[in-house]
Structures are given as structure tokens and as C-alpha cells.
Structure 1
């Protein structure tokens, strides 16, 4: 199992969360088996998201989706996200 981590700042968490929740069908259609959202304790607009996939290839393909990039823009993601992949040990 591979987990994709994405950390980014958003302009408004509530607006971002609405777009994120609406994107759930695209997540599922593209191999996301589980997901979670975290907010920094000192800044609710500092968001870390995890998505789990069966393979690294599925995780990498998801990260390249144009629909994902468009949703991130629509949701008010600021700057370039920090992205990394892990395998459960």
C-alpha cells in the first residue's frame, strides 16, 4: 500500500473543504482507497491530506490528474504543495 501526502496552504479552509468533498467521486474512480484531512493546530488553513492507494503507480497517476489540479485551483490552494509518497512498513 502506498500513501500520498500533500501539504499546502489554502486561502479559506471552509471553501477548500467544500471543493475537496465534492471531488470524492473522482478520488474513488482513480484508486483512492482511504483518505484523511488534517489541519495544523496553529493555522486552520495549513492543510495536510493523505490518500491511500494499492500501488505507487496509482498514487503517481492520481497526482498527475488535470482534474485534481483544477480542483486545487478552485479550492484556493496557495503556492506549490509539498508532496511525498510512503509505503506502509
Structure 2
């Protein structure tokens, strides 16, 4: 199992969350088997999300989706996100 971590700042959490929730069908269609959203304790607009995939290839393909990039723009993501992949040990 591979987990994709993405951390970014958003302009408004409530707006971002609506776009994120509306994107679930795309997540499922592209191999996301589980997901979670976290907010920094001191800044609710500092968001980290995790998406689990069966393989690292699926995670990498998801990260390259044009639909994902468009959703991030629509959700008010500020700047470039920090992205990393992990395998469960």
C-alpha cells in the first residue's frame, strides 16, 4: 500500500473542503482506497491530506491528473503543495 501525502495552504478552508468533497468520485475512479484530511492546530487553512492506493504507480498517476490540478485551483490552494509518497512498513 502506498500513501500520498499532500500539504498546502488554502485561502478558505470551507471553500476548499466543498471542492474536495465534490471530488470524491474522481478519487474513487482513480484508485483512492482511503483518504483523510487534517488541519494544523494553529492555522485551519494549513491542510494536509492523505490518499491511499494499492500501488505507487496508481498514486503517481493520480497526482498527475489534470482534473486534480483544476480542483486544487478551484479550491483556492495557495502556492505549490508539498507532496510525498510512502509505503507502509
User: Is the TM-score greater than 0.5?
Assistant: yes
| Ranges of 4+ aligned residues in structure 1 off by more than 2 Å | none
TM-score by length of 2: 1.00
Q: Structure 2: how far apart are the matches of 1:67 and 1:18?
A: 15
Aligned alpha-carbon RMSD (Å): 0.1
**Structure 2 match to 1:9:** 9
Q: Structure 2: how far apart are the matches of 1:38 and 1:87?
A: 19
Alignment of 1:9-28 (within 5 A): 9-28=9-28
Q: Structure 2: how far apart are the matches of 1:23 and 1:29?
A: 10
**Structure 2 match to 1:47:** 47
Alpha-carbon offset, residue 13 of structure 1: 0.1
- The number of equivalent residue pairs is 89
Unpaired stretches in structure 1, ≥5 consecutive residues: none
Q: Structure 1: how far apart are the matches of 2:71 and 2:79?
A: 14
The answer to whether structure 1 residue 69 and structure 2 residue 66 are counterparts is no
